[in-house]
Amino acid sequence: MKSVDYESVMARRNETMLSALGLDYAPFLQHPVTFDYEALMAQVAYSLDAVREIQACAGVGDTALIELRQINRLVRKLAPKGRGARIFVKDEAANPSGSYKARRAALSLHHAKASGFKGAVAATSGNYGAAVASQAAMRGLDCIVVQEVFDSLGIGQPEIVEKGRACEVYGAEVLQLSVGPELFYQFLRVLEETGYFNASLYTPYAIAGVEPLGVEIVEQMKAATGAAPDAVICTHAGGGNLTGTARGLIKAGASACKVIAASVDLAGLHMASDTDFNRKHFTTGHTGFGIPFAGWPDRTDVPRNAARALRYMDRYLLVKQGEVFYVTEALARLEGLERGPAGNIALAAAIALAQEMNADQTIVVQETEYAGAGKQPSAQLSFARDRGIDIRRGDPEDEVPGTSVVIPDHPSRLKLRDVDLPRVRKSLIRKAKGMMPEGSALNQEDIDFLAAETRSVPQFVRDCLKAMSDR
């Protein structure tokens, strides 16, 4: 019998991951920082065409691209003359489980089935659990979802509770935990005890599953407008959404397309804090995930994260909670599309960004999600009010996460707020330097790797390292 105390289970995590994935990370773990990212992605033994075929057989992908004509009219009323880019949205809510994450799950679960696994395990509080459960059901596989749901008082956030319900509808067993560090420990215990497949969000399979989304955007935009989009906005949390979409855009020949991240600004709230857990009203696509994962991707349930968003990110925008609630209702009222909050984070950013861009340019919001009861603004705002959060109309700039939610009193209140990407890049380089053994220095190979990781150039990395040494 193996010891099941916390330290013993965590010490076996790499061994557990190897047996639960059938993917050998050892060649990528020889150096504390540098590894061959493209070689990691090449572990996926499926071509892009094969991935699309696998997804099509599961009813995943080939979702509609919709121009938001009424919202575009509104944008042009607000924008200076000659400005107001056209906004399109990829309607990923049409996937079997109601989100783009069906793409990640379809390839992962296909591989699990082909590799002889009898079931799959996912650690997630979001749409991915429902996606894994749905795809497992299609393939006759067992499914267990490990989910952070409650604070220490046993109170669950409505959106997380809704997603747990969705997992159970598809036949998954849902292990619901309170917030804290035990999530990863329990996840490892389940993997060891069941021998099931680790359907992590961060494997190469999960990222390769998103690449067709980027390809479809280019194909559909060329059919609709004659050209690839000028910008694609991705709601950003752990990074797989943006990474996979960007890689698909590049594979479709749209390397000039700007890839823009968007997150809800939850500055000041700690995602692993019991007291802060229920004082946020977005469970994904927020800065509590987006900033840490951009600045250091390898904080996941796999030895090396295949989602490396900073490699592909041209710009990173923040929106306020109140703005997303406002845009969620605007999408329903103006376009007749009732969709959940995740894609509307990117849409809120797109409405403001479009006013900066020329009228002959285009933006694609690359996802929508289903709108279950717990995702509705009414459920979220009622929950917030019960927690003592001040809900009011006005200027969203006055919003204080954990204290207030300010709904815009006019669409002109939607604003752009840029994350300081050079600062995030410097943070990643600082973290990498700190991972090196004492007395060793980063060599040219390391510097080249970090330049790719930070979407910069080797001289930027050298300058950052020098500045750190001079302190």
**Residue 96 DSSP code:** T
pLDDT by residue (tens digit) across 129-171?
999 999 999 999 999 999 999 999 999 989 999 999 999 999 9
Give SS3 for 260: strand
**pLDDT at position 434, please?**
94
Whether the model clears a pTM of 0.85, i.e. scores above it, the answer is yes
What is the mean predicted confidence (pLDDT) over 179-199? 91
**What would the two tokens of residue 283 be?**
């469970």
pLDDT by residue (tens digit) across 433-461?
999 998 888 999 999 999 999 999 999 99
Helix (H) or strand (E) holding 406: strand 404-408
Under a CB-based contact definition with an 8 Å cutoff, are residues 232 and 88 in contact?
no
Same fold, 6-50+99-206 and 61-98+209-418: yes
CATH number of the domain at 6-50+99-206, please? 3.40.50.1100
14 pLDDT more than 90: no
What residues does each domain of the chain span?
A: 6-50+99-206, 61-98+209-418, 421-470
**What would the two tokens of residue 400 be?**
């204080």
Tell me the fold of 61-98+209-418: Rossmann fold (3.40.50)
Q: Residue 308: how many CB atoms within 10 A of its CB? A: 27
367 pLDDT more than 90: yes
**Residue 2 DSSP code:** -
Q: How far apart are CA 419 and CA 399, in angstroms?
A: 17
Q: How far apart are CA 232 and CA 230, in angstroms?
A: 7
